[in-house]
Structure 1
């Protein structure tokens, strides 16, 4: 596997589909690390031009269809609200473009399978933009676990709690826009647990809902066939420490706040002696590493990432589907 340094050689050109907050964050990290952002597309020319002017992007398109049809674009970053990821990923793939699809990958596992199936049929890359997976501290943590420095893994504990807008009209609180803590925040600890422990054999989930019908907070326990557990929680209207802990029979790792962003961690042995201290300096927010992974896949002729395979993105959506079933959270896409 090639080393991901979070930079680009400038041979591939990006198109940004959507002009919201997350699109801006990804674009800034791309530009600061040598990636070529060639075009942007929005629902209106006005929004597209504002975005292109802000970031110095050469081409502004007045529709998503025009963006994906642009022959000067190789990769589309899908950054629209959750319910549109499926539609816009398929749009780009059908136009022959590789896609980096913002998380949650889709609204449910059915939609995820459709995106992955089309990408495989077309020989294209469809990578989930779970940026945490590709950060340097996560790469090092996987190495430590693989080298059995913690002994046998027993438990993963991770939280993602934030104090976010409570306006019922805000996307985060709107059922029709895929709102709720689970898909925006809970997906981070869920993906983290799957990364380290794999797919659980059983799930226990509990949630509390807002007046708009989305989950305000959700707590989940993953149980594994040989006894491992993951204890995961998320909340959208109250802040928290946002740390994570990995516990093994011979030691443990304390990942500092905010664990899913570029941060530091400490490895302890079973007597709490420090075995390793990891610190890092990352340019920008750290979203360039997922983009570099996608470019490396294309340039090496691969369509599957070792760090986040397509099958695992589908499996994560299946877990989120089951958690939602248990807490009673349903979206329009579930009834199609």
Structure 2
């Protein structure tokens, strides 16, 4: 049998505690051997909860540990580039939370570093590992024909907080750290565009193709933020993306792709329901709605990462996919700020 990948998690904050640790506990092919967080009490608490043998407060302790093969970078976005680069330099494979990093320049540096080291870097756009999304990808490739147009939406409703309170486990947190992070998120529009745009733009590329042109408008109503975007792909398909945050109502996410021979609609559920996306795929006079029961995309992405580390091949999504998502985030921001069409 193949030995499990010995993994350390760097960053024990909210996303790590609510998503990654529960997934890693179940994932095949992974042995969680260390956690690391600058707040020592948080690192120790998480290590105790998940019976992890080592709790570090300095990432260098992870990078210097020869028994650790790979790291999951779950620290805030602004640390992704440095931590991923240091891990690769230390000979560790990397699974890094989306977005890959904060700037296009940083993303290009990571592309170069992956090429030089030959190590695995997988971006944590976990929706590529959603079983419904993967079904839709196969349908687009095999039955939909030429992609002609698409519409995608990503809506964070104001009911999300109550849903999270019901679904999430207790989260160990440091009040001082939360206050610092709130300061970095004060540029609300840029933060929301990056953290949520990383998902929807990756989904667009996954199902509709490479984007070559962007037109965007942004509306700022304080806590409510909205972007309406027109995208053109390299094959000439025309699509729209609606990204709205903290609007009244339920969260909602999905994409509908129209081709020459068929149509597919993907409705993606809030990930902590642990449900695969609901898919309606139409071609040749019939609609298929697959029944998909494996619904933990975070677990599936960890297992895919471990399989790539052990068996080789291209991680999904890889560092170049991460670069493309950051490039699209930047292009949408430029288009909204200038009112011009931006070429990608």
SS in 2 for 1:180: helix
1:39 aligns with 34
Matched, 1:265 2:271: no
TM-score by length of 1: 0.84
Matched, 1:288 2:299: yes
Partners in 2 of 1:310 and 1:257 — Cα distance? Answer: 24
1:277 aligns with 289
Unaligned 5+ residue runs, structure 1? 1-7, 330-336
Partners in 2 of 1:172 and 1:233 — Cα distance? Answer: 27
CA change 1:161–1:170 in 2 (3 A) is farther
Partners in 1 of 2:183 and 2:292 — Cα distance? Answer: 31
TM-score by length of 2: 0.82
Matched, 1:78 2:73: yes
Partners in 2 of 1:269 and 1:259 — Cα distance? Answer: 28
Partners in 1 of 2:183 and 2:242 — Cα distance? Answer: 17
Matched, 1:97 2:111: no
Q: CA RMSD in A?
A: 2.8
Unaligned 5+ residue runs, structure 2? 162-177, 339-344
For each residue in 1:269-325, what CA deviation from the matched residue of structure 2 results, as whole angstroms up to 9, or x when unmatched?
Answer: 37xx54311121125x321222222222222234x32x4243232122111111112
Partners in 1 of 2:236 and 2:104 — Cα distance? Answer: 26
More divergent stretch after superposition (234-243 vs 111-120): 234-243
Q: Which has the higher contact order (CA 8 A, sep 6+)?
A: 2
2:308 aligns with 297
1:5 aligns with none
CA change 1:68–1:265 in 2 (3 A) is same
More divergent stretch after superposition (17-26 vs 225-234): 225-234
Query: Do the aligned residues in 2 keep the contact of 1:83 with 1:178 (CA within 8 Å)?
Result: no
CA change 1:225–1:17 in 2 (3 A) is closer
Partners in 1 of 2:225 and 2:183 — Cα distance? Answer: 10
2:21 to 24, 27, 51: 27
Partners in 1 of 2:20 and 2:101 — Cα distance? Answer: 18
Count of residue correspondences: 313
2:228 aligns with 219
2:64 to 69, 72, 90: 69
Shift of 1:87: 1.1
Higher helix share: 2
